[in-house]
Chain A
């Protein structure tokens, strides 16, 4: 019986790369006597196993990695529909969909019975939604795998969206919106998204009104439209071999017939007035510390500059204590605890660049001034050879950690395919990083970092006279926090 099931899997594309890739022992320090890092190291030899990839006849794509150390199996189902399908009147639809799916039982099993079955097996189930995808993740003990997968398959194929549970989920999300102002970081994030992605689904956050208008029927419609085998990716790891994983997924989903559409991603509007100074956007909150964010649009994944940008951002504010922002704003001046910059690489659309920290009201102008001047300096003078080497060595020598957690490895392999990364993305990553030069870093700093055009977002007790140095050339926009809900 089992072999006949396997026979139906016609196209089996197996990508099993075993490369004798070796990171060399970088960083032989110059000899200065008894320094603790004055040591020689053998080079790290290891076989880079990338996950196995299998496509079933039904169109389902499976990514698998075995790890039998612990009696656990992790399964992630991913569907190509996320927040980008929302519009201005139903923002929050996908979040509500995810929550109501997770808690709503199935057509055959009531919501409370479904909960009880999961809990009886100590199963963790989470449904999450991102900009372009929705994922169901299940962690189950090996001994309960069959029962767990059966529940998961039933849930995704014939969800119940129990109407009481739908209402609870809706009320919970509404409560989250009501509490958004309790968290200055959340306010800053919303202001950032509004600024970077105007009139776009990714620029909106759910409001009391949009959440209130969503009906259960909207979820059923969404499910019919996007959730089917051709739109499904499966990542599976843990105490299960490839054959068993394939067979189980095939058995659970092969009979699923559901035509689906691919979700569309609306294009971004170009930001107008590219040369203008960015605004200072202020949300007043009675807090003893102000949240600061400097933001602009970043880059997309198919941009050939991604590697140089990664190194540039490491040196600017992504490398923790090895970055300029952290060093100056925290370590030298004691102005803040957390200081960072982040260049998110957009997978379908341009991602966001953001830098920020939190500091007491009287230090806001000083901190913002430092962010701006450090970025300007990076553009004008580039980076030192030492900084460049440190950033590159860090990325290259820590590459092995991408293989440490089997489930994040298979999940990433799945996402790389979904977003159309080149097949050799992982295997060639270090090579790309090695090629980055100091000139590249300065060039991309000039090209993608525009401190004067960035919007400055301030959430806290902001006094105009204390930030007058920031508003000389910039428009000041005062946002009423209540309008964000």
Chain B
């Protein structure tokens, strides 16, 4: 019934080479990786990547969906992250004592919540009506809890020796991961296929409360979180990269179970899914099991490309976050993403500017001038669409963000004027290569790289060509990229203003009034 896909041919070829290489124990450089990774695609669109490492009888499994917060609209922001949580709540088979009974009860809970929401919206809604509905909801939820086997998927994986059972959502993708002893490969297949087919969105309303607390913990009580949110919301006006992955508070509150279920049934399906298995896994066995467990699932709906294009920024933007904390600074510049040559140029630039003690920004701002206690340089917030080159700095008392900002620009201007040296370039290439190899050490690191590049660049093979392309990027190109993108019009600056400074300002006003 199932057609042999073209991947099957490359699969069997790879197997031959694989046996050869594992016997000799090779250095996993880009060419080695090519032979080690076995790739296969099911007819329903699901992609499987396997990298065998037989030394220790464990493996790490990633299942990555190419759907993240970038795929959300105004009416469902936060839905990908909410689903990340909800898909831990079990299925029709896992996490329930009696799904048939539960199903009815879940519907009653939905209805009760809808009435409550409606009542809250209406001015005419009487307090005792509201109280009645709240009591009814509590009662229904308690009844429902009796039918739930709490967090049963976590229990099953734990009992079988699983570690790191978790998930994360980013702008570009959502990943579910766990590491298991090698003899539990079939358990993983069976559990994850069940999750794809049969997830039940139970305990939905309680989980929204958890996420509101998560939002407070990760953003609202952290100056860094607030500034990062402000940077994205200021630098992006049109592209959905402007919104936080977790959603804004009102987004989280507004999400309904119905729309969440629809989003899941459309997108959390084979066509958008990539599995990577790294460790003591036999590719042939993995392939057979993936066919057996996932082969009969419908492809689902392809995640649509994001059409929104951020218009070129035509003037510096500044935002201020007032917080009871010490000053900090974030500067971001729009830039192209993979596989543009300028993206490689920025990998080199960010290494030359910010990686290692002798990098330009660290050396000048932290060591020579003592203006900052630390500087960091990175790319954010995703990589599927054009993103930002970000420089973050912590001013060292009594120096101010203003001084630090000036000093950063002086360094950027110097690169735009004089470019970078060939030694710097060579060193940066080596650093990028070494760091990538370090990332490959753990099963988790390799598994995450494989699914990440598969989603972001369309194929994990982007990794193979990376060093080669990087070698062709010239000093002139680095300089030109800096000239093109590191301009005043293209930058967004976020500063943290300590709220006690704010208070003293207003008290001065108060005094003036009194006079």
Contact = CB atoms under 8 A, between A and B. Distances in A.
Interface stretch (B183-191, B265-273, B476-484): B183-191
14 contacts: A36-B187, A36-B194, A39-B187, A41-B186, A70-B440, A72-B438, A119-B357, A175-B373, A178-B326, A179-B326, A289-B221, A331-B203, A337-B217, A404-B443
Given A23-B181, A331-B203, A119 B326 contact: no
A115 interface: yes
Which of A69, A165, A319 is the most central at the interface, judged by chain B CB atoms within 10 Å of its CB? A69
Interface in A431-462: none
Nearest to A32: B93
Given A321-B154, A394-B158, A394-B159, A44 B183 contact: yes
A397 B179 CA distance: 12
B441 interface: yes
Contacts, number: 228
Nearest to A38: B190
B489 interface: no
Interface string A111-127: 01001101111101000
Interface string A18-40: 00000101110000001111010
Interface string B357-376: 11100010011001001100
B190 A69 contact: no
A239 B27 CA distance: 9
Contact of A401 (B154, B179, B207, B427): B179
Contact of B58 (A139, A175, A404): A404
Nearest to A359: B213
Interface residues of A, number: 82
Interface stretch (A266-274, A280-288, A294-302): A280-288
B187 A122 contact: no
Interface string A160-175: 0000010010011011
Nearest to B94: A36
B158 A337 contact: no
Contacts of A69: 25-28, 53, 55
Interface string B84-97: 00001001011000
Interface in B176-205: 179, 181-184, 186-187, 190-191, 193-194, 203, 205
Nearest to B326: A179
B324 interface: yes
A405 B58 CA distance: 11
A113 B165 CA distance: 44
A283 to B, nearest CB: 13
A141 interface: yes
A139 B438 contact: yes
Interface of B: 25-29, 53, 55-58, 88, 91, 93-94, 145, 150-151, 154-156, 158-163, 165, 179, 181-184, 186-187, 190-191, 193-194, 203, 205-211, 213-214, 216-217, 220-223, 324-326, 355-359, 363, 366-367, 370, 373-374, 394, 396-397, 423, 427, 430-431, 433-435, 437-438, 440-443, 499
B234 to A, nearest CB: 22
Contacts of A394: 158-159, 161
A172 B399 CA distance: 13
Contacts of A168: 366-367, 370
A43 B370 contact: no
Contacts of A119: 355-359, 427, 431
Contacts of A327: 150-151
A171 B371 CA distance: 10
A394 B179 CA distance: 13
B427 to A, nearest CB: 6
A396 B163 CA distance: 12
A388 to B, nearest CB: 12
A115 B151 CA distance: 49
Contacts of A334: 205-210, 213
A420 interface: no
A336 B213 contact: yes
A112 B53 CA distance: 40
A122 B441 contact: no
Given A36-B194, A331-B151, A68 B186 contact: no
The 6 A-B pairs at the shortest CB distance, nearest first, are namely A397-B161, A334-B209, A122-B434, A337-B214, A321-B154, A115-B357
A134 interface: no
Contacts of B438: 72, 124, 139
Given A119-B356, A182-B326, A359-B213, A36 B93 contact: yes
B324 A286 contact: yes
Residue from B161, B423, B440 with most neighbouring chain A CB atoms (10 Å): B161
Q: Which of A139, A176, A179 has the most CB of B within 10 A?
A: A179
A44 B206 contact: no
A385 interface: no
B203 to A, nearest CB: 7
Nearest to A42: B183
B215 to A, nearest CB: 9
A358 B217 contact: yes
A474 interface: no
A71 B437 contact: yes
A43 B223 CA distance: 50
A166 to B, nearest CB: 12
A68 B440 CA distance: 13
A141 B433 CA distance: 10
A472 B379 CA distance: 51
Contacts of A348: none
Nearest to B441: A70
A120 to B, nearest CB: 6
Nearest to B426: A120
Given A397-B160, A404-B443, A405-B442, A322 B151 contact: yes
B431 A336 contact: no
A398 interface: yes
Contacts of B161: 23, 26, 393-394, 396-401
A118 B357 CA distance: 9
A330 interface: yes
Given A337-B214, A404-B443, A397 B181 contact: yes
B357 A175 contact: no
A67 interface: yes
Nearest to A327: B150
Contacts of A35: 93-94
B86 to A, nearest CB: 12
A187 to B, nearest CB: 11
Nearest to A114: B357
A336 to B, nearest CB: 5
Contact of B159 (A44, A174, A397): A397
Given A26-B159, A358-B221, 10 more contacts: A68-B25, A72-B437, A119-B355, A119-B358, A122-B434, A288-B216, A334-B207, A390-B159, A399-B161, A404-B179
Interface in A1-59: 23, 25-27, 34-37, 39, 41-46
B150 A331 contact: yes
A72 B183 contact: no
